[in-house]
Structure 1
């Protein structure tokens, strides 16, 4: 499990670290701020597409070698970024690194579940995602610190080294039996899992939950400085408060989902909607902003472990569904940021994205309520997955989409 978390940490650094390096990268590669910003957007779009495409391309292959290959791809992408002589090669490095992102977390979450007893399934997923949440806390300041002292290329060399260590750790520490089989007999079998209404409802709730949170998060720097009156130098530590909330929410969400998954998801989405609404009302208060940005992280990431286990159980355990969940979150991020930008452009102020985010999450909460009602599941911790699939963390999909138990040696 620590090996998977380390891989998640490196991948998370790659995603977040660029934000603190954009000015340096832009000057070094002689591109505009807008062009440099595409190093972030291009990564996110590649994650959204690559999560499904790469997982589909590796359907049926043993999952441990696939994970090792994905981390090797991550290493290659960051090595390209570290060596990039121009903007084109830099963008290529970002795209190559992003290709591994969604599939790593999708396939890795299934491997992680096999390493623990069934009743700890969501906590296993949370442990793997812990690396990503810690990277969110440390990513921007880490990149800024290393970049300022040794140059932005040194940051990507450091991430390349972390990726190499993670590659070795996964190859050595992840048991062969945990990733010995593919997620289904073939791609057609995996695609059949998307006939499930529960899969689509859960993916929709994921996109809306993430969209609401990140739609507001994308403009928090402006909310802090233009509404609350913080200085620009305060933004870094305020974002670390948010990142700390992500870590707490990830842990709490994993534990809660193992007890009662659907209740945890509904409470988390309701808490996120309430936090965004109150944040909008109290955005001009500095003390309230500090508390609320922490709660934004807590409730926002508390949904992640439960959403992953819910969608994979609904799909009969196939990795394509888990990767699709990562794609859905990235699509939600893009749509949420777009919606937040619209209300700012319309002159509604820098607190407006918080209200927009609350509305988007509110729709997601409604979708999750429908999913629970349609599935006839009062609580996700009952041990019975949606659509009749067994909620066994150690399950593996057969060619017919049925989950059968896979045990260790």
Structure 2
């Protein structure tokens, strides 16, 4: 690992959590340069919903490159983009009765968020945007301003202007309706909170610790946005693309956002980000918001192949089936180790195991890695073990992964007990 320590910035993160030099990958497995195999419960932070090196994607990419298909095209019209747009409309938008324009914003999710915030402010002629406690939307300046995680925020970054934070669903416990709280602030002219251009929200806060907004809360937020003429932006970058069981995570609540940001798995593992917007909000002048890599044609090719998974309900049914297994396994683990006082929460195939003991989730992630699994932590204090396996993972591999987690917990608790008893120095 010397070359990474010598030349790569100290900002590197995942290489510290998973100190191996990875070489190949297939489906739900990673292999390092020593031939060690790891079950992947991380999936590129939600970028690999369809697994590593999906064979259908690879074939399409190889064929495209072999015929010298356009790789870089800015926002010029290309066959690859045409095919993606048509497939996206036919497979995703039309069946859901969604009328959205599509804007390609740049290679990563924060580009889509920046674009949504800029457009919302331009259309509404208001500067304030309301985000929510524990929300995560990216780390460029505008996106960071609407990100709640204290680890990423600092006053020196100038992130506090034009943003107000309000409590997410369940922030004060189950008995407090935070929509009523929000409405009170916004309808009181002396609250100090200006009428915003937009709300931006995740239906499931992934980095925030796998906090799941209820259908009723999301419906209430949509109703409030309509009542007060505020745009509703759903950030579906991590929990969209089928992660919750439907292509869009907001479908379960029956709402229709004004804008939706998509990235991560929409590109089939390649960099692609886009903003969906109501047609009347598409008020840009030509070239007013640009970017060198807003037309990733290789990603269009992979993304078009990925949309084939949504031609029927098979993947949705698989996510519901495997999601039920994940909940069952986590509930069983929580019951087996009651002293951990853990909490299980999630939906579809995004789940979290909250472990209140300081540092335990991080130790567990490390122990899992040493036993052949890649899994990350989340939450304000990294107190949540976050489960994001590929949606296409085999049931046998899924259950094997939970076996590794159970064994790792048992090992850590046994080791700690031995240390307390003085049996280990």
Report TM bin, short chain.
under 0.3
* Structure 1 length-normalised TM: 0.28
**Which protein has the bigger strand share?**
2
**TM-score of the aligned structures, taking structure 2 as reference length:** 0.27
